[in-house]
Every structure is written in C-alpha cells, then in structure tokens.
Structure 1
Amino acid sequence: MSAVLTSFVYSRQFLSFAERFFFKINDGFMESQINYETFASFWCLYFGLILFPFGVLLDIVEKRNIIPPFGFILTYLIVILIGVYMIPYGGMTILMLPHGIFMLIKYRKNK
C-alpha cells in the first residue's frame, strides 16, 4: 500500500530523478536552498520502503550481540552506496557508509 501511495504522490519527483538517471538528485549539504519536495520524495521512498526494514533487522541482531551475516552487510552496503550515488554530499555518505564499512571490518575480524 505504501509503495503504491508513494509512487502516486511523488510521481513528478520520481520522473525528475529518472531524467538524471537517479544520479545526484540533490546536492545534500552543499545545496544552498533545500528543495523539500525532492528530499521528501527521496526519503519517503528510500527510508520508508528500503532502509526501515534494514534498521529493524539490524537492531534485533545488535541487541543479541550477533555479528550480521555477510549477505546482510553486503546488501546494506549496496543500498547505502545507491544512496551515496543519488545524494553524494548527504547524510548517508557521512553517517551510514562508515557504519557499513565498520560492520564489514568487524565481520572480517571475527571470521
């Protein structure tokens, strides 16, 4: 339901993203004026549909002191790298990419 509603509500923004091949849809922290429609559509799609389930699973895994499996870490990094590709100077580059790399290093140490 959320996916259908999201694609309907933000169809104009998604078409704009597609015209730029989903690359650098926003300048992130470097942008002088925030385009709230672009930010809202990106985060609704990306966080609501993709990152939220990852966050819930990661929370469960970390509370149990389990190292996430390699497949999870790899998928997480791919999702984050897509976000970095779309908004290079945004929060994913600064906050989430180092976390993904840290998980990979921790996995390699304990392997």
Structure 2
Amino acid sequence: MSAGPTPLRENFRTRYATEPVLVPPEGVGTEAGTVGTAIDQRLRLAFTAAEPVDLATNLGIDISRGMGGPQAGERMGVVGEQLLRRLAEPVHALDPDNRHLPLDRS
C-alpha cells in the first residue's frame, strides 16, 4: 500500500477481471456515477421491497457512534437516527413497490 493504490488495483484487475469496466463516454463527467447510483437505488426500491436505507448507510451511522468520544458519538447516533427517518419517509410515502399505483409519480 505504500506504493499507492495503482499497483494493487492493476494486480486485482488482472487477476479477477471478468468483464470490461464501463466508463462514461467522452464529455460525461463524474456526475454520471451519482445519477447512476440514484437510478439504481430507485429501481431497487421500485421492483423489490428493499429497505429504504442501504447497509452501507447503516454501517456508517454505527461507525460514527463510536467516533470522537462518548458525547460526540451519542450526538452522531442521534443525527444518524434522524437521517434514517428522513431517508425512509419519502420511500414509505411513495410506496414504490405498490404496483397498483401509477408509474409516473414524481
């Protein structure tokens, strides 16, 4: 790791690359990754009864509880719980896995 991530990444890709890596076409910025992630999340919610908050977010909140001492960790836990509620509210309100509702809802 002291040589940086490039040799490690190249070694991994040569050993385990089974499919070509898709990169955005010329002229498309990094926002395509963010947009793609948002679309992916919405599709997962729409076609499955997935949890409104992903595992990575839950793990991040759990990790933040233990950072910065007991008082800071407690405050981060409260903020994390608020974040979970705020993220879940629109999902429950839109009810994306209810196939009896029209598809063209915003």
- Does 1 or 2 have the higher relative contact order (CA < 8 Å, sep 6+)? 1
TM-score higher than 0.5: no
The structure with the largest helix share of the pair is 1
What TM-score comes out, normalization by structure 2 length? 0.32
